[in-house]
Amino acid sequence: MRLSRYFMPTLRDAPADAQIVSHRLMLRAGLVRQEAAGIYAWLPLGLRVLRKIEQIVREEMDRAGAVEILMPTLQLADLWRESGRYDDYGEEMLRIKDRHERDLLYGPTAEEVVTDIFRSYVRSYKDLPKNLYNIQWKFRDERRPRFGVMRGREFLMKDAYSFDVDEAGARASYNRMFLAYLNTFARMELQAIPVRADTGPIGGDLSHEFIILAETGESEVFAHRDLVEMGAPGPDIDWFGDLQPLVDQRTRLYAASDEMHDQARFEAEAPPEKRMTARGIEVGHIFYFGEKYSKPMKAVIAGSDGVERPAQMGSYGVGVSRLVAAIIEASHDDAGIIWPESVAPYGVGIINLRPGDAAVDAACERAYAALTTAGKEPLLDDRDERPGAKFASLDLVGLPWQLIIGPKGLAEGNVELKRRATGERQAMPLEAALKVIAP
RNA sequence: CGGGGCGUAGCGCAGCCUGGUAGCGCAUCUGCUUUGGGAGCAGAGGGUCGCAGGUUCAAAUCCUGCCGCCCCGACCA
């Protein structure tokens, strides 16, 4: 993409409304524009990041055996009356009427819809397990939207729903999601800590929140340090084998968010040098909730004994749009965003320091063509701006590499290659720089 | 929803207390000079001062109501 033809409205000053760093940087870098409290338009750069995150989530869901569908944003109130949640959900649900005076709602989640789909087609234990997911916009009429897209009223969520014939199967489904989440966040270069979460009235120990570490996060986490260092299991595990040991390994170490924290247990279970207290952002939440929806909605499955029983269900959420902000919170500096390579909107910014200079233009075009061919998605800054302005706006939008091409360097046969994350710069011939970026 | 704050040009702000017909920086446009970390000079354009009432000879400024937005708290991907 050439900046001269692009739409990347960067701002020198962030609007006063934006308080936290990710919100300020998202507005300054031209990723989003606020339309109302908690409601945002996604601009080209922000949309590209959102799509890349979405794609990573999709790939890891697919790998773990989940199957993508797309459910509507508008849902029938009658379905929610069946589960009993229409009256329970409260003011956060955006309720609307169509022209026939029928009650609809803009979905805050999709347990009812997916259960309705499931029960329409699946009858036998032989068809299980199933895990259906979608990546769709959700609406919650938050009392207090805040922190930009971190807590919006409209947000993009990946929500998966597992169906199993019994609790053992449901636990296996839960484990797949548990490990898939660790892989998902690891691909975004985030350190995610699974912490035991409140399961509410369902009980049991099968609910975890995934907190990513960021100094500016809203919640405090207390965790055994080994948990962070253990990292993700990686893609090459036997997804339909016994995952329990891998999960146990990661759940027996102490980890709690502030509301679940027990200092005495923490001190008993983790030696002082292993106790880590940090700030974090919740980016995922998984639950096993059994028959909560399948029972009232009569999503029943015939077992091998021929007896019909409600399906055992779990649900698994990832805040896709929230992740955009969370990644920025976890990865930025005074100059702007530092995108992990996997979610960067473009792979490399080519800075033409002197548009109109034939040699510089030619070198930029050569780099642009080579990097495009190599799949590195270059963004060529060919605007008629001063060098300083280009450096500043490329630092702000945070592409992993900057390839700086100007007359002075070219006279010596060199371009300059800068790593955004470290600030490290190196002069070298263009061909060498291209090899570094696209080996 | 309770508490606090803020709405003046695209963005950041001053002016309001003490009413007299709107200003600064950045951005934008034109010209010239510049060009390796957000240039300099000269000129230009752009504002129903959130909205609606009221007080007054006169309202951005005072009063009332409403709307919007932000922050803290209680709740949440």
Q: CA of A70 vs C1' of B55, distance in Å?
A: 59
Torsion of CA A31, A110, A164, A117, to 10 degrees: -120
Task: Mention the CATH class of domain A348-437.
Answer: alpha beta
Query: Using the CB atom, is residue A204 less than 7 Å from strand B?
Result: no
Least confident of A46-50, A145-149, A260-264, A397-401: A260-264
Cα(A268)–Cα(A230) distance, rounded to whole angstroms?
20
Question: Residue A202's pLDDT is what?
Answer: 53
pLDDT digits (tens, 9 = 90+) for A355-367: 999 999 999 999 9
Protein-covered nucleotides on strand B (Cβ within 7 A): 1-2, 6, 11-13, 25-27, 34-39, 68-77
Question: Residue A394's pLDDT is what?
Answer: 96
Q: What percent of chain A has pLDDT over 90?
A: 87
pLDDT digits (tens, 9 = 90+) for A14-38: 888 888 999 999 999 999 999 999 9
Average pLDDT over residues A279-294: 93
Average pLDDT over residues A357-386: 97
Give the nucleotide at minimum CA-to-C1' distance from A325: B77
Query: Using the CB atom, is residue A257 less than 7 Å from strand B?
Result: no
pLDDT digits (tens, 9 = 90+) for A76-94: 999 999 999 998 888 889 9
Question: Residue A391's pLDDT is what?
Answer: 96
Q: In Å, what is the CA distance from A148 to each residue of A10, A23, A214, A259, A326?
A: 17, 5, 16, 24, 11
Per domain, the residue ranges of chain A are 3-337, 348-437
Kindly tell me if the per-residue pLDDT of A204 is higher than 70: no
Query: Using the CB atom, is residue A110 less than 7 Å from strand B?
Result: no
Please, which residues have CB within 8 angstroms of residue A236's CB and are 6 or more apart in sequence? Answer: none
Question: Residue A188's pLDDT is what?
Answer: 97
- Average pLDDT over chain A reads 94
Kindly tell me if the per-residue pLDDT of A203 is higher than 80: no
Q: CA of A135 vs C1' of B70, distance in Å?
A: 30
Question: Residue A329's pLDDT is what?
Answer: 94
Kindly tell me if the per-residue pLDDT of A260 is higher than 90: no
Q: Classify domain A3-337 by CATH number.
A: 3.30.930.10
Query: Using the CB atom, is residue A312 less than 7 Å from strand B?
Result: no
Q: Is A216 left (phi over 0), alpha (psi -120 to 50) or beta?
A: alpha
Q: Do the domains spanning A3-337 and A348-437 agree at the CATH topology level?
A: no
Residue A401, beta-bridge partner list: A348, A419
- By C-alpha distance, which of A369, A355, A435 is closest to A401? A435
Average pLDDT over residues A183-207: 83
For chain A, the C-alpha Rg in angstroms (whole number) is 24
